[in-house]
């Protein structure tokens, strides 16, 4: 995967889970603002502003769901990014229905 800490790292807050996809944010992570999406052993780093993959990858269907979820929750994701830079615990975000 090549992403530090790996997807089972207990120090990485999980902010949402839906359809087998786990969304996490690292504390004090590098810019641009982003989150980590993990699904079926694959991981992608997704930019909050554009929903573009910065690193890694996900199966097409999972990526479509992550992008839909990001569009719905972009403001909450941006607020959580600010919290994790303090570092402060990010708030949970509702899953994709």
Q: How far is CA 28 from CA 6, 32, 61, in A?
A: 16, 11, 30
In whole angstroms, what is the distance from residue 38 CA to residue 25 CA? 11
- The domain total for the chain is 1
CA–CA–CA angle 52, 41, 22 (5° rounding): 60
> Per-residue confidence of the chain (97 residues) as pLDDT tens digits?
334 444 455 578 999 999 999 999 999 999 999 999 999 999 999 999 999 999 999 999 999 999 999 999 999 999 999 999 998 899 999 999 8
Q: Establish if 7 belongs to a structural domain.
A: no
pLDDT, residue 16, reads 98
Q: Establish if 4 belongs to a structural domain.
A: no
Q: Establish if 47 belongs to a structural domain.
A: yes
Q: Establish if 91 belongs to a structural domain.
A: no
Quote the domain boundaries for residue 45.
14-85
């Amino acid at each position: 995967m090549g992403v530090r800490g790996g997807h089972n790292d207990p120090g990485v807050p999980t902010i949402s889970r839906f359809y087998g996809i786990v969304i996490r944010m690292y504390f004090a992570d590098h810019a641009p603002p982003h989150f980590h999406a993990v699904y079926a052993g694959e991981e992608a780093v997704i930019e909050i502003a554009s929903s573009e993959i910065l690193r890694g990858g996900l199966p097409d269907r999972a990526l479509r769901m992550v992008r839909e979820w990001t569009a719905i929750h972009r403001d909450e994701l941006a607020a959580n990014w600010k919290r994790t830079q303090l570092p402060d615990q990010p708030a949970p975000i509702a899953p994709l229905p």
